[in-house]
Structure 1
Amino acid sequence: MSSTADPAPQRVRHAGRAVEDSAQEVASSLPIRIGARIGIASNGVLHLLIAWLAVQVALGGRERADQNGAMQAIAAQPFGQALLWVIVVGFVAVVLWRIAAAIWGFGYVTDRRKRLMKRLVNAGQAVLFAALAALAARVAVGVSSGGGGGGEKPTGGLLALPGGPVIVGVIALGIAVTGVGMIYQGWRKNFTEDMCLRRAQPRARRVAELTGQIGYIAKGIALVILGVLVGVAAITYNPQQAIGLDGALKALAAQPFGPLLLIAIAAGLACFGIFCFFDARYHRV
């Protein structure tokens, strides 16, 4: 009597592979790749606006110098709402592309540990751009994300939980470590590893590398400051300390020589915004 293997597990495996192949095909499709490049460029626009708002803060203004403030500035312009929906579509495409990269990407990286780190970074980027897409959609439909500090409410909620200060402290450490990582990437120009800059003209390549280097370092410094503020909130049990990027930049402006330092960081954030346009063109998407 001949025995035959149960076909059910095979059907499940075949179905799983078919779903995976379909997901990879969608994530690598031309519309998603074009949308991802639009999303990266949109991130550049946001950083340019944040830089401009930060300069206004340095000069004594009360503008909100973060992604929410930048999107509110876009919404206030003619056709601003339509532009925000374009940004939403671009950010959603970035999310899909980053998820695919986190699961299947970076086959060209031979070092397994380095490939794993890049995939983890892309998973984090997917979460970040999902939040940005949600924020852009809220602003586009006219729902305010709240005024004031912009970060004390969620921090206050976390601090009220059992072990809340520890949770907030871990978040603060993560923010600060991310900032240090960006400073390191900027200093070493590691961001160029995922770009095809050899296709660029020599002058464009130099500008991309310079703006990326300055931009990564400046954004990293801003994140370190934010991480310190969130950490102080965890230590002192004071949610008013954790006030988001806007609060971090305004806290810097309140220090001796703070306005000059804030203008310098704003220039760096502007460089990061310009770099995003090169990244949209030359990133391995």
Structure 2
Amino acid sequence: MPDLRDPARDVARRGDDHPWVQNAARAGLLAYGLVNLLIGYLALRLALGDRSGSASSSGALHELAQQPLGAAAVWAVAVGMFLLVIWRGIEVVVDHEWKSGLKALLYLSIGVSAVKVAMGSGSKGGTDSWTATIMDLPGGQIIVGVVGLAVIGYGVAQIHKGWSEEFREDLDAEGQAGQSGRAFLVFGKVGYSAKGAAIGVVGILFCWAAVQHQPKRSGGLDVALQKILEAPGGAVLLSVVALGILCYGLFNFARAKHLDT
């Protein structure tokens, strides 16, 4: 007898193991990998003295939009991000992977930003405007500080994931085997560590803004990378971080191909 189960119910039952969801996740990871490659490229340019771009997801999308067929590529990134949101959402609802909810919010923000850039209304602006809005609320200074601590915690978790090689569970057996597998593991180790360090600086900026009650001291990834550049030996440090973010992008490509089912 033919299987008459509702496909949508089957997706819900099997969660992220369903082939449709797996293919959506792979497409999204390719888009996310591209965004991180562009961020790494812009960060490396910044380290070499070129400050014409913003080394952030929004800046990466603007850079992509300026290329031939750029608008179509940005729309593709937007679709990919929304596919990742669906994937992570299924993990939350079906598999009770609550950490996936935070990742879904990250992907959603990049997707919305991509839509704005594709429609010509996106900006490369920072986060100080909404930080100021939050600080004007009762207890807003505390809220911003808590957000900063949470961001620092996430950055530390990313570094731990890199050095402990916890990311291995994201690759299937083939993705960990042979010379290519060893390369993928290096990409993951270096990539997660560098991305985590950059995110940690973002969290520190939020905490500092909260302590000083000065929203303009906060900032996103672009501001964090600028602060790294301003540190002693900053150009070298930023170059290392930029190469790490490039590795993170390459790892997402590898993960798209060897996604553990």
TM-score computed with the length of structure 1 as normaliser: 0.84
User: Residue 284 of structure 1 aligns to a residue in which SS?
Assistant: coil
Q: Distance in 2 between matches of 1:27 and 1:78?
A: 37
Counterpart residue identity of residue 122, structure 2: S
User: Residue 227 of structure 1 aligns to a residue in which SS?
Assistant: helix
* Structure 2 residue 64 is the aligned partner of structure 1 residue 74: yes
Match of 2:3 in 1: none
2:108 corresponds, among 127, 130, 136, to: 130
Match of 2:152 in 1: 176
Q: Which moved more, 1:40-49 or 1:174-183?
A: 40-49
Match of 2:75 in 1: 85
User: Residue 62 of structure 2 aligns to a residue in which SS?
Assistant: helix
Match of 1:54 in 2: 43
Counterpart residue identity of residue 214, structure 1: V
Q: Is the 8 A contact 2:175 2:254 kept in 1?
A: no
Within 5 Å, give how 1:1-285 maps onto structure 2: 21=9, 24=12, 30-62=19-51, 63-105=53-95, 119-147=97-125, 150-198=126-174, 201-284=177-260
Counterpart residue identity of residue 80, structure 2: G
Shift of 1:35: 2.5
Shift of 1:200: 5.4
Backbone CA RMSD of aligned residues: 2.0
Shift of 1:25: 6.3
Q: Distance in 1 between matches of 2:78 and 2:15?
A: 17
Runs of at least 5 residues in structure 2 that lack an aligned partner in the other structure: 1-5
**Change in 2 beyond 3 A, CA 1:68/1:263:** same
Q: Is the 8 A contact 1:153 1:239 kept in 2?
A: yes
Runs of at least 5 residues in structure 1 that lack an aligned partner in the other structure: 1-17, 106-115
Q: Distance in 2 between matches of 1:26 and 1:86?
A: 27
Q: Is the 8 A contact 1:102 1:120 kept in 2?
A: yes
Q: Distance in 1 between matches of 2:250 and 2:111?
A: 20
User: Residue 161 of structure 1 aligns to a residue in which SS?
Assistant: coil
The number of aligned residues is 254
Q: Is the 8 A contact 1:196 1:282 kept in 2?
A: yes
% identical equivalent positions: 33
